[in-house]
Amino acid sequence: MTAPGGAGRLDGAGGTGAEGAASAEIGVRTACPYCGVGCGVIASPDGKGGAAIRGDKDHPANYGRLCSKGSALGETIDMADRLLTPKVGGRDASWDAAIGLVAEKFQAAIRDHGPDSVAFYVSGQLLTEDYYVANKLMKGWIGSGNIDTNSRLCMASSVAGMKRAFGADSVPQAYEDLEETDLLVLVGSNLAWAHPVLYQRVIAAKAARPGMKVITIDPRRTASSDLADLHLPIRPGSDVALWNAVLSQVIEQGAVDAAYVAAHVDGFAEAAAEVRGTTAANAAAACGLDAADVETFINLWVRTEKVVTIWSQGVNQSSAGTDKVNAIINCHLATGRIGKPGSGPFSVTGQPNAMGGREVGGLANMLAAHLDIENAAHREAVQGFWASPAIPTKPGLKAVDLFEACRSGKIKALWIMSTNPAVSLPDADGVREAIAACDFVAVSDIIETTDTTRLADVLLPATGWGEKSGTVTNSDRTISRQRPFLPAPGKARADWKIICDVAQAMGFDGFDFEDEAAVYREHAALSGVAGKLGRDFDISDHAGLSREGYDGMAPFRWPLAGPRKGGRFFADGKFFTPSGKGRMLALELREPAQQLTAARPLRLNTGRARDHWHTMTRTAKSPRLSQHMGEPWLEVHPEDAAACGLKPADLAEVSSDRGTSILRVLVTDKTRPGVLFAPMHWTGEYAPTGRVCALPEPVVDPVSGQPELKSAAVSARRFRAAWHGFAAARGEFRPKTAYWSRARTKTGWRAELAHDAAPADWENFARDLFGLPHAATACVIDAARGIARVALLVEDRVAAVLFAAPEPVQVARGHVVAALDGDGPALPLLAGRPGADMPDPGAIVCACFDVGVNTILAAIAGQGLTSVEAVGDVLRAGTNCGSCRPEIRAILDGAIAARKEAAE
């Protein structure tokens, strides 16, 4: 599969040429750095350090579509917070000094304590070339398996499940299957928010073929459920029981593809014996579902030939994640519904290059090119190809164990690359302590101040998106070029170059690559060795690729060599197991490892927000991406809210045996009773008490090592604040209150605040909050009611404003922030509401086009709009990524209902 026009540079007529153009008429083809969809992007530099961004209509992942995050990429490439020079002990240093110190510390640890005393923790944000040299250094020259990746947190259970079933980490399906299927089942996957462009493809497919069915299986009724014909609000952790019931009915209703199973599948009899007698009714009881709904789902799945089952973190992030994956795959193997157009199991990845990292052995239990670290022939092949002095004979430490080894002193030197584990790993507070306890820590990053970089001994400035050059692999095995369109700022270097510099400083050969294209060629050549060993990953046709060919590389789906070139896997019954057959497994339901107790009676489910990404180091730079949900929140079912004494907009103190978070309450029936939901993005830089990964126990799936991030046992109660506040300023400020969450605006920052004691003097408190000790003030203070509104003036212009009250303040936040950009007087601003001549757009619903709820309501009322499509025609809201369509529909339904009620 190759997209047309794949070279790096475009002119106004759509022609192609060399990289590096920088005018409004010329763009550079690259790939989005966010999720695993792997969208093609065209960036048109403005010559001032910025760029206009649009979707690449020729890219086979997105055909020109972009989500809100992708559309805002041009707003995230400024130099604010950038790490621009190496730092040693917090002070600027030369590259020679920094590289020399990293090399010296790693050499000393290896000399004194052995190769397993050092570790790398890397990231799906790295490009494949970066990943390749990091893996080569750790496994081939240092001789340890201690390199793991943050992909362990999102996709390890899928890798393990596919290796158990298929014998290799082979994703059978392609994105085209979403358009060709008759039944799409989303299991633990909020496609609308986590992979919005794929969701748009599904919307279009369902509109074209209304008979297509969509089912969502999730403890929450998510934005993806807006498209669903049926939603199953499953009890967390019970997926195996549901899929065992599907398999049971596949057998009972005669849907087994007996010829396929007999010729190509092992383990059927054992799996069938395990599920014998499992019915929709007892599955419903185990899963906390309505029996009739379960029966409807099972019958649809069993009786529909073209079924695609998609899963993501809701399946993987579990102490039984691998079993869940295999329970789904069992059903597809038994029916022969795998690797066919419109039919098969499909894992969609979280990160832009999670797949690329897996391809080069970025996980502690893998070798490069999907070869196995515990297979002697594979080890010999890799070591022979590299001509390396060492190769590990056993897997290294997986993520959770790796940081525990730092805490215990087993790991003496740690190098963290392009990730923020002090926020993202379970028991995040314990991880911070572990990093701080490690003798030596180096961090490569683009941002100077993160929760993790604050703990480092050495900081190494890396190039970021727009500056990096290399390849990435998306969820359907499509490899794309990520091309630079901006120069490297300051002293920043490419990650692959930093790694090679350290390797050479350690005295290792094999790392004198001329450029990233040379790294890619070696990676491709090694895949040919794997191909000859009968493995799935083979792009050896690119082993001799020229620099010009590399620069002009069009997107393609691997494998690039052999009989399966560019296609799907396993419809032909040929697997990568020793027997050559697929494997079904007998599986039993295992409950979440973290048991509920009287003290911790609730489950905490974590996940993604619509407009933010991972730990927000990129998306938080865009003001509009923080307008939809500007602070961390907690979804609470009304029954649980009543039991915990929580009201809408309260702050909730959520506690586990590991830590406590404070989150804004959203009371909703979209989540199950007994199950809370909170997003995982907020960090110590943006909301110190909103770090929800501080709550889960560091328990993992015993097969994959993936942590259970969606089933923490917690309690919740109202955070009793003496006052709540909203603050905004034209400059930066960092609050010191018990609770705060801040976000960027176009000219400064805004923040939500709460504290357990009221200040004696609101004016001086405001001056201290904003760092403006000599500012004049304009105030409206009602001490009896506990209300204070303070504007700070610098040179007769409002520079900052604070609103405080005993309860969450009622202020038109968008109006206040916008008013700070002007030169208006202070007292009208302190009203907190716009005048009649300044309509308030309200809370932002559509981040792509900056459309607020009040604007939508006004259009509905003024123009008689009756459909989401009509709202889109008038306001453009919902016409880009589509993630806001469910909210628009809810607003529309509410307005229509109110209109009917008024008429009656």
DSSP 648-659: TT-EEEEE-SS-
Quick one: how far is CA 809 from the chain centroid? 32
* pLDDT at 21 (0 to 100): 32
400: Cβ contacts below 8 Å, ≥ 6 apart: 152, 425, 426, 698, 700, 705, 707
Beta bridge partners of 461: 445
* pLDDT at 823 (0 to 100): 66
- The CATH H-level (homologous superfamily) assignment of domain 156-347 is Dimethylsulfoxide Reductase, domain 2 (3.40.228.10)
* Mean pLDDT of each 10-residue bin along the chain, 904 residues long: 45 34 65 96 93 96 95 93 97 98 98 98 96 98 97 95 97 97 98 95 95 98 95 97 98 98 98 97 98 98 98 96 98 98 95 92 95 97 98 97 98 97 97 98 97 98 97 97 97 98 97 98 98 95 97 96 89 96 98 96 95 90 87 97 97 97 97 97 95 97 97 97 96 96 94 96 96 94 92 92 95 88 73 68 81 86 86 85 82 81 74
* Whole-number Å distance between alpha carbons of 904 and 898: 10
End-to-end CA distance of the chain: 59
* Whole-number Å distance between alpha carbons of 504 and 512: 8
Q: Report the CATH architecture of 87-152+353-554.
A: 3-Layer(aba) Sandwich (3.40)
Kindly state the helix (H) or strand (E) to which residue 358 belongs, with its residue range: helix 354-359
For the chain, give every domain's residue range.
Answer: 9-75, 87-152+353-554, 156-347, 602-718, 723-830, 844-903
The residue with tokens 């008013």 is: 819
Q: Is CATH 2.40.50.100 what the domain over 602-718 is classified as, yes or no? A: no
* pLDDT at 10 (0 to 100): 55
Tell me the C-alpha to C-alpha distance, in Å, between residue 537 and each of 1, 127, 130, 477, 866. Answer: 16, 17, 18, 10, 50
* pLDDT at 1 (0 to 100): 45
Residue 514: CB atoms within 10 Å: 8
* pLDDT at 143 (0 to 100): 98
* pLDDT at 837 (0 to 100): 53
Q: Helix, strand, coil % (nearest 5) of the chain?
A: 35, 20, 45
Radius of gyration of the chain (CA): 27
Q: What are the start-end ranges of the E strands in 208-315?
A: 213-217, 230-232, 265-266, 307-311
* pLDDT at 185 (0 to 100): 98
* pLDDT at 395 (0 to 100): 97
What is the fold, at CATH topology level, of the domain defined by 9-75? N-terminal domain of TfIIb (2.20.25)
542: Cβ contacts below 8 Å, ≥ 6 apart: 520, 521, 524, 549, 560
Quick one: how far is CA 408 from the chain centroid? 29
Residue 818: CB atoms within 10 Å: 18
* pLDDT at 16 (0 to 100): 31
CATH code linked to domain 844-903: 1.10.10.1100
Tell me the C-alpha to C-alpha distance, in Å, between residue 716 and each of 287, 604, 648, 740, 755. Answer: 24, 10, 14, 18, 18
* pLDDT at 888 (0 to 100): 86
Tokens of 585: 């497994």
